[in-house]
Amino acid sequence: MRALRYHGDGRGLVDETIALPEPGPGQIRLAVSACGVCRTDLHLVDDELPNAVYPIVPGHEIVGRVEALGDGVSGFSPGDRVGVPWLGFTCGECGPCRRGLENLCDRARMTGYQIDGGYAEATVADARFCFPLPDAYDDVEAAPLLCAGLIGYRALRMAGDAARIGLYGFGAAAHLVAQVARFEGREVFAFTRPGDVEAQRFALEQGCVWAGSSLERPPVALDAALIFAPDGRLVPLALRAVGKGGIVVCGGIHMSDIPGFAYRDLWEERVIRSVANLTREDARGFLAIAPRVPVRCATQVFPLAEANEALARLRDGRITGAAVLRIGT
């Protein structure tokens, strides 16, 4: 089968023919129809993530149809459409797992990072971490829900009942979580790269009440700020944008170093926290609420052969919404 793999050598993805994977016990094989292009994939090919397994097929926003079942799989049948997210395996036995924090599993393995992902014509996945997808979405629209949507949803939950929320970096995750936040009756403020009027226009189209540069202060104090851009310099800026008791949530797996800042910026019970991975409960919750909003995904579609180009455009900030690879029919 055809697959794009990264070999950890700094040369980008390589278009290769590899053996069709066979599902082991508890696994299913999917014919991949679409796969989202996530910023985490970009961190992978830019050698910014530790502990990757090489060669690796990236991609963890996978939409496909069941082709084959491994021993012991129930609940799926050939032809079923399912989605595969970032969290691909947990042990169920370590301390975090026993405390209900499977996203922090000591032996977790991630799709497209330690397990081959969806930049390929087919993939295998642990059936326990595969999810039926809402009929309201076609394959391309569904793909970004599986990471941009899920991580945005988890970050929003971390913000508690915050009524005014700032989103730093208005890309794939932010444009989806903005819709959920509005549905829940919150006001959303968008922060973009300085001078990115196109992103600011896009944010206003998604219902944000204000859009401006990340260097600006919003017109009112925020209750929470969700940071999706991988720039640590945004953390002190976000702290200054939230009011007393405000929460700053860092939503990425990788971020540049956070510079020093005055204690005054943190004082008055402001909080900084991170979001790590996701849980299956996150997936079930978000995939249930998305059609009710309804969440709509703005996508730019690329063929599998142009995955490197999609990543380059994402790196340069030239993607509006989410990039998606269309692979199968």
Domain boundaries, the chain: 2-147+278-326, 150-274
Nearest to 133 by CA among 64, 52, 78, 226: 64
The residues that bridge with 224 in the sheet, in sequence order, are 165, 247
pLDDT tens digits, residue range 39-73? 999 999 999 999 999 999 999 999 999 999 999 99
Question: What percentage of the chain has pLDDT greater than the value 70?
Answer: 100
Query: Do 2-147+278-326 and 150-274 come out as alike in CATH topology?
Result: no
The beta strand positions in the chain, using DSSP E, are 2-5, 14-17, 27-37, 62-69, 81-84, 87-89, 109-110, 122-126, 131-132, 164-168, 187-192, 210-213, 222-227, 242-250, 271-274, 299-303, 322-326
Amino acid identity for residue 225 in this structure: A
pLDDT class for 328, splitting at 50, 70, 90?
Answer: confident
- Report the pLDDT value the prediction gives residue 329, as an integer from 0 to 100: 65
Query: Which pTM does this prediction carry?
Result: 0.95
Nearest to 203 by CA among 211, 195, 194: 211
- Identify the CATH class of 150-274: alpha beta
CATH 3.40.50.300 assigned to 2-147+278-326: no
Q: Are strands 62-69 and 27-37 parallel, antiparallel or unpaired?
A: antiparallel
DSSP state of 277: S
pLDDT tens digits, residue range 166-225? 999 999 999 999 999 999 999 999 999 999 999 999 999 999 999 999 999 999 999 999
